[in-house]
Amino acid sequence: MRILNSFALAAGLGLSTVAGFATSAMAEDVKIGFIVKQPEEPWFQDEWKFADQAGAEKGFEVVKIGATDGEQLMAAIDNLAAQGAKGFIVCAPDVNLGPAIVARAEAAGLKLMTVDDRLVDASGAEIESVVHMGISARKIGETVGEALSAEIKARGWNPAEVGALKISYDQLPTAVDRTGGAVDALLAAGFPEANIFDAPQTRTDTEAALNAATVVLNQNPQVKYWIAFGLNDEAVLGAVRAAESVGIKATDVIGVGIGGAASAINEFEKPDATGFFGTVVISPKRHGYETAMNMYEWVTNGVEPAKLTLTSGALARRDDYKQVLADLGVN
């Protein structure tokens, strides 16, 4: 399946490159931008892969740009306009750039859709006029919390002896919703609120999460067992690596992430289980393929996509992740 996809992808790109020199405005000339905030993160690479798959099927070109700050993002929008793109999909490095992004896209005559992270206005309210595909963040967070509670129980741990590492990134609303959902589910299952430790990360990568978690672990040597949750797999991997680095046994840690891309899979494929117990798999196919298709239909046939689409997730663990990924059509 993988080989077939990359073949189709290569063929599609070849086609659009050749067609780029033609003068007629055929489907092959259509260019759509796909800008992501963290191009090195496997989740975003998967989104790009599936967007390319849509492009290969329909014969349009996906211009993939990484923009890790506002300046790069504005330059990317201008660059897309200069290349003759018709619209773009973006996961912005900072959702507070919302009004600036909307204005720039409008000025450049580009249709705009957001993915994963929803833009907010100056008052912090979601900009509902921009087409968005995100995840059902609170619900997925609850699934994380339920999985953690179930595993605490399965291991026979006394909750009073368990600390929870909440890797937080409160400047991003979807992160607040995800960790909030996890906390709600933990509390509903009787987890002691006083045992939840906030570990704010400065960026949304593994290293920043590791640094945040290390501080909390060092401050709380009395805690016997740890659970960990956060915005994504990278956050939880950071917490798991931090626990390892301070000498906590893998069997004394339960981390449940969100994502299910290569960062999680690599962990499941290690011969010995680590503290990374599970992940709620979300669909880069829907977020990449479907958003690209929607944008294509919009710019070519004038079909405006639904204003808001929220996708769901499914828990995967070391012992069943292959099946879960297959069911979601992700692998």
Which residue in 123, 59, 124, 46 sits closest to 91, CA to CA?
A: 46
Asked if 231 interacts with ligand FCA (CB under 6 A), we say yes
Least separation, in Å, of the C-beta of 43 and ligand FCA?
A: 5
CA-angle at 283, arms to 278 and 289, nearest 5°: 160
Residue 122 CB, shortest distance to ligand FCA, in Å, is 21
Q: Among 116, 142, 267, 290, which residue interacts with ligand FCA (rule: CB under 6 A)?
A: 116
Distance CA 177, CA 112 (A): 24
Does residue 34 touch ligand FCA according to CB under 6 A? no
Residue 44 or 60 with smaller CB distance to ligand FCA:
44
Cβ neighbours of residue 230 closer than 8 Å, sequence gap 6 or more: 165, 166, 167, 168, 169, 175, 178, 179, 201, 209, 236, 238, 239, 257, 258
- Burial of 175 (C-beta count, 10 Å sphere; 0-12/13-18/19+): buried
| Tokens describing residue 271 | 């011969």
Element (H, E) at 34: strand 31-36
- Residues numbered 174-193 forming contacts with ligand FCA, rule: CB under 6 A: 174
CA distance 230 to 237: 10
- Answer for which of 112, 186, 258, 264 binds ligand FCA (CB under 6 A) is 258
Binding mask 126-155 toward ligand FCA (x if CB under 6 A, else -) reads ---------x--------------------
How many residues contact ligand FCA, by CB under 6 A? 13
Residue 125 carries which side chain, given as an amino acid letter? A
Residue from 33, 34, 42, 43 touching ligand FCA (CB under 6 A): that is 43
The residue from 85, 91, 92, 196 that contacts ligand FCA (CB under 6 A) is 91
* Contact between 232 and ligand FCA per CB under 6 A: yes
- Closest distance to ligand FCA from the beta carbon of 299 (Å): 24
Q: Of the candidates 52, 94, 117, 146, which one interacts with ligand FCA according to CB under 6 A? A: 117
DSSP assignment of 108-157 equals HT-EEEEESS--B-TTS-B-TTSEEEEE-HHHHHHHHHHHHHHHHHHTT-
Query: Minimum distance from CB of 289 to ligand FCA (Å)?
Result: 15
Among 168, 201, 204, 283, binds ligand FCA (CB under 6 A): 204
- Phi first, then psi: what are they for 288, rounded to 5°? -100, -55
* 213 is a contact residue toward ligand FCA (CB under 6 A): no
| Smaller CB separation from ligand FCA, 53 or 232 | 232
Does residue number 259 form part of the binding site for ligand FCA (CB under 6 A)? Answer: yes
Count of residues for the chain? 331
Binding residues for ligand FCA, per CB under 6 A? Answer: 41, 43, 91, 116-117, 135, 174, 204, 231-232, 258-259, 282
